[in-house]
Amino acid sequence: MASFYSLPFYETSERLAAPLPTLEETTGRRIVRVGHHFLVKYSLNVNLIEGENMLFVGHSSNVPLPQVYAVYTDKATGFNYIKAAVSDKLRDIIGQLRTLPCPGDFGSFGNRALQDSMFWTADDAATAVINDPFETEAQLNEAMVRKYLYNNITPQKAEFCQRILPRVLQNRDLIFSDASYWEYTLAIFTCGRWDNDWHVWVAKILDEYPNEYVWMDMLRRELWS
């Protein structure tokens, strides 16, 4: 999959507050603070599109998001790294992000296939209808139905979702490249065992979509790949 930005990306030395951390300084945790200037996000599951998204927003708006200093893959370990300074004005930032012009489809940045694991399939042209960027909300909902069939879940459940999803997930605004409820439902899904107060802070950062969450929680658990 082609990258919208040229990767690896490294900020010029003139814009760095300090030399970038070495691999030896960062290895061991998925998000780690290194010195006084950098946070490093890394793992085999980090997608560099996250860094590209931040670069795009930084170049296209005045949103005070974290400064991206580097986006790259370490070929020896396969880890992806995103290095950024810290910002704590998340609600204001996300509010500004949600005003960015819509690119016209439900998908990943650059008119690329959805990276959400709900839509994962083998790299097969025949399954592209499950994760390709979608022009309409109806196509997005239909892709989730198709994923039920791809995962060999009972066709009766797929038929149920095909009938019901257009009623419960409809007329939602397209915010940048996601349905308006998407980020909230995914953030609440990460509550996992509900053994901390993460949901309290999500509610302070994002508008809540409780009805959509109930449905997306069920779909995500059954379609996760």
Residue-wise pLDDT for 6-31, tens only, equals 777 788 888 887 787 776 666 554 67
Q: Are residues 81 and 147 in the same domain?
A: no
**Residue 129 CB neighbour total at 10 angstroms:** 14
Q: Is this prediction's pTM over 0.75?
A: no
CA distance readout (Å), 70 to 6, 30, 40 = 11, 16, 9
Structural domain contains residue 93 = yes
The mean of the pLDDT values for the chain is 80
The residue-averaged pLDDT of 182-204 equals 87
The domain boundary, picked from 44, 63, 97, lies at 97
pLDDT at 85: 39
Q: Are residues 204 and 136 in the same domain?
A: yes
The domain boundary, picked from 34, 69, 97, lies at 97
Structural domain contains residue 52 = yes
Structural domain contains residue 112 = no
Structural domain contains residue 85 = yes
Q: Nearest Cα to 114, choosing from 98, 133, 128?
A: 133
What is the CATH classification number for the domain harbouring 88?
Answer: 3.30.200
- The token duo for 111 is 């008119």
- Report residue 199's pLDDT band, with 50, 70 and 90 as the boundaries: confident
Q: Are residues 128 and 76 in the same domain?
A: no
Backbone angles phi, psi at 211, to 5 degrees: -65, -45
The domain boundary, picked from 97, 127, 149, lies at 97
Q: Are residues 36 and 91 in the same domain?
A: yes
Q: Are residues 93 and 121 in the same domain?
A: no
How many independent structural domains does the chain possess?
A: 2
Q: Is the pLDDT of residue 134 over 90?
A: no
pLDDT at 87: 33
pLDDT at 160: 95
Q: Are residues 66 and 15 in the same domain?
A: yes
Q: Are residues 177 and 84 in the same domain?
A: no
Q: What are 68's strand-pairing partners?
A: 84
Q: Are residues 20 and 89 in the same domain?
A: yes
pLDDT tens per residue, range 53-65? 888 888 888 888 8
Q: Is the pLDDT of residue 52 over 90?
A: no
- The token duo for 181 is 């409820």
Structural domain contains residue 108 = no
pLDDT tens per residue, range 142-159? 999 999 999 988 899 999
Structural domain contains residue 69 = yes
- The token duo for 41 is 């996000």
The residue-averaged pLDDT of 112-136 equals 83
List the end-to-end C-alpha distance of the chain, in Å, as a whole number: 20
Q: Is the pLDDT of residue 218 over 90?
A: yes
Beta-carbon contacts of residue 197 (< 8 Å; ≥ 6 apart): none
Q: Are residues 217 and 137 in the same domain?
A: yes
Q: Are residues 72 and 121 in the same domain?
A: no
Percent residues over pLDDT 70 in the chain:
84
pLDDT tens per residue, range 63-122? 888 888 888 888 777 766 654 433 346 787 888 887 877 777 887 878 888 888 888 888
- Report residue 44's pLDDT band, with 50, 70 and 90 as the boundaries: low
Structural domain contains residue 104 = no
Structural domain contains residue 4 = no
Q: Are residues 130 and 170 in the same domain?
A: yes
Can you give the residue range of the structural domain that contains 141? Answer: 117-223
